[in-house]
Amino acid sequence: MMKWKIAGMMVAAVMLTGCFQDTVNTVENSEKNMQAQSVNVQNVSTDSFLKNRLKIVRVDKVTLPDGLLKVQVSAVNVRTGFFSEMWSWFTNDNPYSITYRFTWLDQNGMEVNTAASTWIPLTVVPGDTIRLSAVSPNSRCKDFVLSLRENN
Amino acid sequence: MKIATFLLIGGIAGTAMLMTGCGSDPVRIDPTGNQGLTTVDDINFKDWQIAAEKAVNSLLTSGELSRQDGRKTVVMVSVVKNSTTQHINTNILTDKIRQAILRSGKAVTTTAVGGNGPEDKASKQVRKLEDDEMFNQATVQKQGTAIAPDMSLAGEIIQQKTTLGRKTESYFFFHLTLTDLKTGLAVWEDNVEIAKQDKKPAIGW
């Protein structure tokens, strides 16, 4: 009887894994040639669910030739692994849907509204790295705030 | 039998009253948020915002608005062709891009000439005042002073619809170009793609 129970659970587990969405595998050159200019950031996280699913990997910036500032935030969906995927499938979190918004501040700390001052929805597959980028509306903008939240 | 009939009619009437009463008052939603309606066949307001955001980022990154001679590029908005099945106003997209161009400080836009005619006819109208004795001619704008555009923003919005069983899908392709009017060459081009899918229920509509 015990053997049948174990066999049944194994079959159920195998069937459940078939319901999980495939995660993303990546291949890249290990010796990087890029010379990125990273930015020191401070994270304020009020959503533990988002924090446990999306990990901010790096923040890079570049000043374009005409003085505009371009910022790129790299983040990865860390919900990989059997139990994480099973839980994400159970809670309908796979693929993970987020929404983000860039806010630009000028040299006086005043917000500068742009076409990008809107929440943009995005889907993040487990294991995938997303790069959220934006260009400052003008050369007076020196600082930015990236807001992230779950897109329910 | 009469009781059963009475109960049946009462049940139908009660259900009908409940259904007509289950509405809600209209509410304002955040136009920058994601609570807007999503429909497959239409370009919703969030789609316009996504297209504008990506187009603006791409255009500003390209650096094509900057000039070496110190003056600002003058950009006109030409025709953004609607190749969708919907009646849409492409100004929703071009206005956002034009505002972003102005805010960048690298270029200015002209309203005196456009693909669908001048955005503001006043530039031409005020010059007709040269023949009007009522106006102080020293204050009337003279012929030959308006600045002609250097570049033109144009594009096309294309929709492709697919239906498979109960699923329907719309693919929107926003294509924009920036053309150097002196040479006729495109100096910037980009696309924004938005795809939406819907599945009809097995029962109902």
Q: Which DSSP symbol is given to B133?
A: T
The mean pLDDT of B163-179, rounded to a whole number, is: 96
The domain limits of chain A are 37-150
Radius of gyration, CA atoms only, chain B: 26
> Pick from A145, A134, A127: which is nearest to A54 by CA?
A127
Residue numbers in A near B176 (CB within 8 A)? none
DSSP-H helix ranges across chain A? 2-19, 48-53, 82-90
> Mean pLDDT: which of A36-40, A86-90, B69-73 is highest?
B69-73
Find which of B30, B34, B47, B194 to mutate to test the A interface (most A CBs within 10 Å of its CB). B34
Q: What is the pLDDT of residues B93-149, one digit of tens each?
A: 999 999 999 999 999 999 999 998 898 999 999 999 998 999 999 999 999 999 999
Instruction: State the angle between helix axes of A82-90 and A2-19 in degrees (0 to 180), rounded to the nearest 10.
Output: 70
Residue numbers in A near B61 (CB within 8 A)? 64, 68, 70, 135
Q: What is the pLDDT of residues A74-90, one digit of tens each?
A: 999 887 776 666 666 66
Fill in the amino acid letter for B62: S
Rounded distance between C-alpha atoms, residue A118 and residue B35, angstroms: 12
Q: Contacts by A55-62 with C-beta closer than 8 Å and gap 24+?
A: A57/A129, A60/A36, A61/A37, A62/A37
Closest CA of chain B from A65, distance in Å: 7
The domain limits of chain B are 74-130+140-205
Tokens of B203: 């029962």
State phi, psi for A97 to the nearest 5 degrees: -110, 125
| Pairing state between β B73-83 and B107-109 | parallel
A59 in contact with chain B, both atoms CB, cutoff 8 A: no
User: Helix, strand, coil: what percent of chain B each, to 5?
Assistant: 30, 30, 40
A97 in contact with chain B, both atoms CB, cutoff 8 A: no
A99 in contact with chain B, both atoms CB, cutoff 8 A: yes
Which class does domain A37-150 fall in? mainly beta
CATH 3.40.50: does it fit domain B74-130+140-205? yes
The answer to which of A25-29, A75-79, B185-189 has the lowest mean pLDDT is A25-29
pLDDT at A48 over 60: yes
